[in-house]
Structures are given as structure tokens and as C-alpha cells.
Chain A
Amino acid sequence: MAGSEFDEEGGPRYCGYTEYEFGEVDTDDLPATGEGATGLERAVWDALYEVEDPEMPVSIVDLGLIYGVAVEDGEAKVRMTLTYTGCPARDMLLGDVEAAAAGVEGVESASVELVWSPEWSLNLVTEAGKQSLREFGVSI
């Protein structure tokens, strides 16, 4: 079980339509933050850090939405998820991510793959993300 610093009682519930429970997500490789990335991949991660969630002032990387970045022969691929299937900002967010990756010098094209597994959960929010959310007024 990841996220041992949390207990079930402390699990906040902000909104009925988004699951903020601490689910049993396989966090072996997550959250992905680009730690150790070099070269163009590092640059893409840096660009993704600049993309914020549409509702809260937190980077989508720190929110744990990005599952992976790969750059090969100038082609950037980003794999990501969303917190909620009914997210009305889906196209906007995917567009922002694609544009951010494509805007990196040395990247010729970018594509985004949206996946729903592993499911996003609070366990995927980084310490920096939690700090941003606390400053915004969310108790986490």
C-alpha cells in the first residue's frame, strides 16, 4: 500500500463526482515526474510542468496526470490520464499538453495518449502538488 502517511479518516472528499479516495493504485512507477530525465525528454517534462489544471493552480505533473514521456527522432509521446471521465476540459487539456510538448525546441511533432489505467488517485499527487493545493485552500 502506498501513501502510508495518509489514513482513511483523513481522506478528504471535496466533490461527489471526482474520486478523491486513496485507491489501491499500482504506484510502482508513479507518480512520474521526469526525475532523471535528460536531453529533450527533460525539456518536455519542464514544459509539461508549466501546464496547470484548469480548476486548480497546480501543475498537471504534480497532480500526477502524466504517466510517461518519450522522445524519439524528434517525435514526443506523452501518456496521461484525467481525474474524471466526464471532465469537460478533456480536449482543452489534451490540446495544452500536446502544444506544450510540441513547443519544445528540437521536438518536431507531439502526440498524447489518454489512458485510464492505472486509475488516478490522490496517491499520485507529489509533495509539491500537495503544497500547491494547500496554498489554494484544499486540505490535503
Chain B
Amino acid sequence: MAEMLDPAALSADDARAVVAELETLADDEFVMAERYIDWQVRGPTLEADLAIANIAQDEYGHARLWYDLLEDFGRTESELIWERPHDEFHHTTMAELAFERGDWADCVLRSYLYDHSERLRLEALEETTYPRIADRVGKVVGEEHYHRDHAENWLERLSEKPRPNEAHTRLQDALDRLYPHALTMFEPTEHEEQIVESGIRPVPLADLREDWLAITTPFLEGLGLTVPVPDLPESGVRGRDGTHTDDWRGLYNEFTYTYEMLDRDPAKLMVDPDEAGV
């Protein structure tokens, strides 16, 4: 396997494959964090607020580590996040879905489904041939284990007997709603073959999907939940290819809003008094 020390010296195919792998990693982390912070100051307890804010901070940190490596290929952080068109983000559609009001079950279940997939992917990346990813994987893995502990503790709490009860019903509803979108985590980009062949991530997503199902299915069933048939979203959105749900547009507009305003004359932001009554 050729050394891939210098990003500028990669073959065009390898460069595209590295970029594709990094974009899905970074975008997953960034958008998961963007959604987690919907819960900040709205968690069921102050402890829960702190925990979810902390998890969000971790994911922002990890997103930044991966966006750093994308900068090697010429784009700036601003171009990668605030100036990138919405249909060029490649995160799993599960990350972008808006929470139903007060549905904490969705938040912890989403974290559970995501963090197990992330761990499997990072473990595969521990064997990467791309040294700049290898340099960072260990640090990220080391900051992830309590995310899974947090999610699993909450899921067990929400599944306490006697059942059925409201918490457990909400959990099942969230599982039914999230599951097809969770499976987009394992949808390949058009560069999947190159990613695996060049050893950028030596394990195919199809294998990670099987590993993930083998871990998550018995755990969820053990909580008394019915795990849906693993089918992708019927609407056809896949995330990895840039297709997203309507929820994504709302979130995208929100997080780019302040950046967009930076270039504008503040006076134009105010409603013209003459037009206010129209």
C-alpha cells in the first residue's frame, strides 16, 4: 500500500475517496451536535441538560477534527460549513430530523443508534492507510464511550416495567420513526469502492451495518421494543448522496442565518416602519 502522507500527493481517485469519507464523518458529527443543542435548557433535568450539552460539545470537537483534514484539500472552515450548499452535505438523514416537542426518548434513542455506528466506523478507521486520519482516531474514540453509557442508561430507564407505559410507547414510536433514517448511516457514497480498496476505511459499510444490527437489535429487543425490518426511508432520501428531508432545510437555514447576516447592512434587517402596517 502506498504511503499517503501528503494530501497533495494523492492520486485523484484517492483524494476524492478521502474527501468523501471525511465529509460523511464530519457532517454526521456536526449535524448530530446541531440537533442535540435543541435540547439545551430543555432537558428533563439539569443533569440531563449538562450531559447532552457536553455530548454536543464533543461532537462539535470531533467534527472540527475532520473538517480540519478537509481543509488540506483547499476549502476553509467557513466554506465547508456555512457556505456549502445544503444539498452538498452528506450526513445521515437521522441526524437532521427535528425532535417532536418534548420527546426525550427520540433524543437518547438517536444517540444510541448513532454512537454505536460511529464507534464501529472509528474502529475500522483505526486501520486506515491515511496517516492524518490515523493520528486523530484514538483521541476521538477515547471521548466517545460515555455517550453510549449515557444513552443506554436512559433507554433502560425509559423501559422500566410495568409496561406498556407512556415512556415505552414513545420509545417504540421513536424507533419506528428513526429506524429507516438510521440505516442511511450505512449507505455508501459513490466512492465507497475506492475507500475500501485504498484502505482509507478497510471495512466496507455493508459489514459495519451487519455488526451494528448484531449489537443494537438484541439490546433493543431486550428493552421490550419491536425492531422494525431494516428498510431505508420510503421517501427515497439517503443523506450520503445529498438528498435530505425537509427538516434539513429548516436546520440549515437556522445555523447559517447569523453567518449570512454578517455581510449585510444591519439597517436592512429591520422592518421598514412604512411597510410594517402592510
Given A85-B65, A116-B65, A117-B135: A19 and B142 interface contact (C-beta under 8 Å) = yes
Those of B139-180 within 8 Å (CB) of chain A:
139-140, 142-143, 146
Task: Assess whether A117 is in contact with B139, with CB atoms less than 8 Å apart.
Answer: yes
B139's contact among A16, A17, A90, A119, by CB below 8 Å, is which? A119
State the Cβ distance, A85 to closest chain B Cβ, in Å. Answer: 3
The interface residues of chain B lying within 8 Å CB-to-CB of A90 are: 64
Task: Assess whether A84 is in contact with B61, with CB atoms less than 8 Å apart.
Answer: yes
Complex Cα distance, B134 from A133, in Å, reads 32
Task: Assess whether A86 is in contact with B142, with CB atoms less than 8 Å apart.
Answer: no
Interface segment, one of B52-60, B91-99, B181-189: B52-60
Complex Cα distance, B142 from A23, in Å, reads 10
Complex Cα distance, B71 from A114, in Å, reads 14
Those of A87-140 within 8 Å (CB) of chain B:
87-88, 90, 114-117, 119
**Number of A-B residue pairs having CB atoms within 8 Å of each other in the complex:** 45
State the Cβ distance, B36 to closest chain A Cβ, in Å. Answer: 12
Give A88's nearest chain B residue, CB to CB: B57
Complex Cα distance, B183 from A68, in Å, reads 44
Task: Assess whether B60 is in contact with A16, with CB atoms less than 8 Å apart.
Answer: no
Number of A interface residues in the complex (CB < 8 A):
15
State the Cβ distance, B62 to closest chain A Cβ, in Å. Answer: 6
Those of B227-277 within 8 Å (CB) of chain A:
none
B143's contact among A85, A88, A117, by CB below 8 Å, is which? A85
The interface residues of chain A lying within 8 Å CB-to-CB of B138 are: 116-117, 119
Task: Assess whether A85 is in contact with B64, with CB atoms less than 8 Å apart.
Answer: yes
Number of B interface residues in the complex (CB < 8 A):
19
Chain A interface mostly helix, strand, loop or mixed?
loop
Those of A1-18 within 8 Å (CB) of chain B:
16-17
Complex Cα distance, B139 from A17, in Å, reads 12
Best-surrounded residue of B58, B61, B65, B135 (most CB of chain A within 10 A): B61
Task: Assess whether B60 is in contact with A86, with CB atoms less than 8 Å apart.
Answer: yes
Task: Assess whether B61 is in contact with A86, with CB atoms less than 8 Å apart.
Answer: yes
Give B58's nearest chain A residue, CB to CB: A86
- Kindly state whether residue B86 has any CB partner on chain A within 8 Å: no
Task: Assess whether B134 is in contact with A117, with CB atoms less than 8 Å apart.
Answer: yes
Task: Assess whether A85 is in contact with B135, with CB atoms less than 8 Å apart.
Answer: no
The interface residues of chain B lying within 8 Å CB-to-CB of A16 are: 51, 54, 146
Q: List 15 A-B contacts (CB under 8 A).
A: A16-B51, A17-B54, A17-B57, A17-B143, A85-B61, A85-B65, A85-B139, A86-B57, A86-B60, A86-B61, A86-B62, A115-B135, A116-B65, A116-B135, A117-B135
